[in-house]
Amino acid sequence: MARIRVEGDDLVIRPTLWEKAAAHRGDVRVPLTSVCRVTVEPDWWRTMRGSHRSGTCVPGLVCIGTRGHQGGEDFVDVRPGRPSVCVELRPSAPFRLLAVAARNAPEAEALARRLRRAAPNIDASTPWRQPLPVPGESGAPPD
């Protein structure tokens, strides 16, 4: 199972070897300054936004890779029955969301707390993920 780590000023997702092959990519690295919100999603399927772009998605088993939507791209490594740690990123980052499965809810919550402490500009105004931007909609809050 992929690991999320803080390495210096970066947040790094390190998939296992088979996950790298399934995702068609290596590690994912983003600056901690790009992190705007960290949440835990107990329902793995709620992390799935948009459509499958690359990687491997076997319904009911695993989804790992990139997904595209009107707001950009997400990187997911999720599995049914496991909570996901969701890291929302600012528009300047290569992805809008990173979602990685945890073994269980206590592990997911502990990891989310560590990431919130490590990221310098966390938006703590709401404890849940924000919706995708709607094209042509005005009044969207700036990032």
Is 130 domain-assigned?
no
Question: How many domains does the structure of the chain reveal?
Answer: 1
68-76 long-range contacts (CB < 8 A, ≥24 apart) are: 69/96, 69/132, 70/132, 70/133, 70/134, 70/135, 71/96, 71/132, 71/133, 72/96, 74/47, 74/49, 74/50, 74/98, 74/99, 75/13, 75/23, 75/28, 75/99, 76/47, 76/48, 76/100
Enclosing domain of residue 44: 3-118
Is 7 domain-assigned?
yes
Is 137 domain-assigned?
no
Q: Which residue has the higher pLDDT, 129 or 38?
A: 38
Q: What is the mean pLDDT of residues 73-102?
A: 95
**Which one, of 73, 44, 69, 42, lies nearest residue 59 by Cα?**
44
Q: Which two tokens stand for residue 103?
A: 């073994």
Is 95 domain-assigned?
yes
- The H-assigned helical ranges of the chain are 17-23, 105-118
Q: For 10-52, what is each residue's pLDDT tens digit?
A: 999 999 999 999 999 999 999 999 999 999 999 988 899 999 9
The structure's pTM equals: 0.88
Instruction: Tally the residues of the chain.
Output: 143
Is 129 domain-assigned?
no
